[in-house]
A and B are shown apart, each in its own frame.
Chain A
Amino acid sequence: MGNVVDLGLRQELLALQDAYISTLDTDALEMWPDMFVEDCLYEIIPKENFDLGLPAPVIHCDSKKMLRDRVVSLRNANIFQPVVYRHFISGLSIVTASHDEVEMRSSYLVINTSQLGQSTVYQTGRYHDLVVRGADGWRFKSKRAIYDTSRIQTALAIPI
Chain B
Amino acid sequence: MNAIDMQPPSPVEAALAHFPRADGSRTPYGVFTSPEIYALEQERIFRGPTWSFLGLEAEIKAPGDFKSTFIGDTPVVMTRTDAGSLAAWVNRCAHRGAMVCRQLRGNAMSHACVYHQWRYDLEGNLFGVPFLRGLNGQAGMPADFDRAANGLRKLRVESYAGLVFATFSETVEPLADYIGPTMAGYIDRIFHKPVEYLGCTRQYSNSNWKLYLENVKDPYHASLLHLFHTTFNIFRVGMKAHCATDEGHGMHSIIMAIKQDQGETSAAYKDQKIRSFDSGFQLEDDSILGLIPEYEVLATNHIQPIFPQLVIQQIHNTLVARQLLPKGPDHFELVFHFFGYADDDAEMRKLRIKQANLVGPAGYISMEDTEATELVQQGVARDADATSIIDMARDAPEQSDTLITEKLIRSFWAGYQKLMGFGAAVAAEG
Contact = CB atoms under 8 A, between A and B. Distances in A.
Contact of A56 (B104, B288, B353, B374): B353
Question: By CB atoms of chain B within 10 A, which of A55, A61, A63, A65 has the most?
Answer: A55
Given A46-B202, A58-B362, A76-B281, A156 B367 contact: yes
A55 B206 CA distance: 28
A48 to B, nearest CB: 7
B170 to A, nearest CB: 33
Given A57-B353, A80-B368, A155 B203 contact: yes
A66 B288 contact: yes
B381 to A, nearest CB: 14
A58 B199 CA distance: 11
Interface stretch (B3-11, B32-40, B225-233): B225-233
Given A59-B357, A80-B367, A66 B228 contact: no
Contact of B203 (A66, A69, A70, A151): A151
Interface string B229-244: 0010000000000000
Range for the number of chain B residues in contact with chain A: 35 or more
B200 A156 contact: no
Given A61-B357, A154-B374, A77 B281 contact: yes
Contacts of B357: 57, 59-61, 66, 70
Interface string B175-215: 00000000000000000000001111111111000000000
A59 B363 CA distance: 8
Interface centre among A46, A56, A62, A79 (most CB of B within 10 A): A56
Given A56-B338, A57-B356, A58-B362, A77 B206 contact: no
Contacts of A72: 281, 283
Contact of B204 (A52, A56, A60, A153): A153
A150 interface: yes
Contacts of A52: 199
A76 B276 CA distance: 11
Given A80-B368, A155-B371, A55 B201 contact: no
B421 interface: no
Contacts of B349: 55
Contacts of A73: 228, 364
Q: Which of A63, A73, A153, A155 has the most CB of B within 10 A?
A: A155
A92 interface: no
A54 to B, nearest CB: 3
A69 B203 CA distance: 23
A78 B198 contact: no
Given A46-B201, A66-B285, A157-B367, A58 B360 contact: yes
A156 B204 CA distance: 11
Given A49-B199, A80-B368, A58 B354 contact: no
A44 interface: yes
Given A58-B362, A152-B203, 4 more contacts: A150-B201, A151-B202, A154-B203, A156-B362
Interface of B: 104, 197-206, 225, 227-228, 231, 278, 281, 283-285, 288, 333, 336, 338, 349, 353-354, 356-357, 360-362, 364, 367-368, 370-371, 374
20 contacts: A46-B199, A48-B104, A54-B197, A56-B356, A60-B354, A63-B285, A66-B284, A66-B357, A73-B364, A77-B231, A77-B278, A79-B227, A80-B371, A151-B202, A152-B204, A152-B361, A153-B204, A154-B203, A154-B361, A157-B362
By Cβ-Cβ distance, the 7 closest A-B pairs, closest first, are A56-B199, A54-B199, A49-B199, A65-B284, A56-B338, A156-B362, A65-B285
